Chain A
Amino acid sequence: MKVHLEIRLLPMLNKVIGKEELEFDFTGTTVKELIEALIQKYGQKAKEALTTRQGEFDTMIQIALNRKVWITADKHDAPLNDGDIVTFMLLIGGG
């Protein structure tokens, strides 16, 4: 499947991938599989940018589908469709 990826406010991941937006081809149908495919393709640096030291997905990163729906960390099995816009964005709320 092919999705349009947007990487926002994640400078570490931007650096690894080399850009903020790209068309991304991967085998799989869910958000979870998309994350796994990203790590597979871009290696250790991408893994560090997307996961915590314990190896779990870093929940400070929020994922939006088609700029409308938030796929929260407990819903990563949500299905994707060809042509979907998937945005990864770092969101910090405290003060």
Chain B
Amino acid sequence: MDLETITEYRPAPGAAWQPGDAWLGGGTWLFSEPQPGLRRLLDLRGFGWAPLTESRGGLEIAATCTIAELARWRPGGPAAVAWATVPLLRQCCDALLASFKVQNMATVGGNICLALPAGAMTSLAAALDGVTTLWSPGGGVREVPVIGFVTGPGTTVLRPGELLRSVTLPDASLRGRTAFRQASLSRLGRSAALVIGRTDGPGLVITVTAATPRPVQFRFAARPSPDEATAALDRAGLDRAGLDGAGLDGAGLDGGHLTWHDDVHGAPAWRAAMTRRFVAEVAAELRE
């Protein structure tokens, strides 16, 4: 889409951020909607960050890594054997509505910063206990766990001018076994419910995205039965709220206000029902 107010496009390095600026990832969202408030686009590709860096600590995914690059990536060295979760990367890339023509441009960082409930890169990184590295305009650096980075549909903890540099998936999370479930109204449609289970030593971590306005996580010290897993969901109040099609003020996890997300990609009650079913399924799959 023509962005008629844009007067300048430049590489991001060295640019002093000012109101009216936007960090440009792949541009697949920026160019798909009117952006009347924008004046300058600062292209993050100018940093020349390596898309994916393996280390003992885990996998660092640069914000500018495209979704296509992530989908194709395979670890080398010892990680090739140890990182059992690698197929999950591809599953999450495929969970976007976007076809491979969009994935060739769209970046992991852009997907997370856009913070749509159906942001499958958020689902992936939250499920694997990813940690974001953020650069502030003044030169400061801070780290925020992905699970707390997205605060609601389209909202994040990013401050004005702050940018997402990378997401690091820790080695320990990459070693777990995972189970993945996703539902959308059409086969390649936008996710309406996405549940990822991951073994964590003797325990289990279940992450719910797409159905909720922001990621929600349940951590179990031991592998729960399907009933125990859905009981946790019910205790969180999500189930009742969803089936009523109503929000549940003040009763959410972490003291937040949790509701089932509601938009054209799925009714809240359906999202709630699918999430409950998926939570039971991933618990059963990872119990063995």
- The answer to whether A and B come from one shared complex is no
Interface positions of A (Cβ within 8 A of B): none
Interface positions of B (Cβ within 8 A of A): none
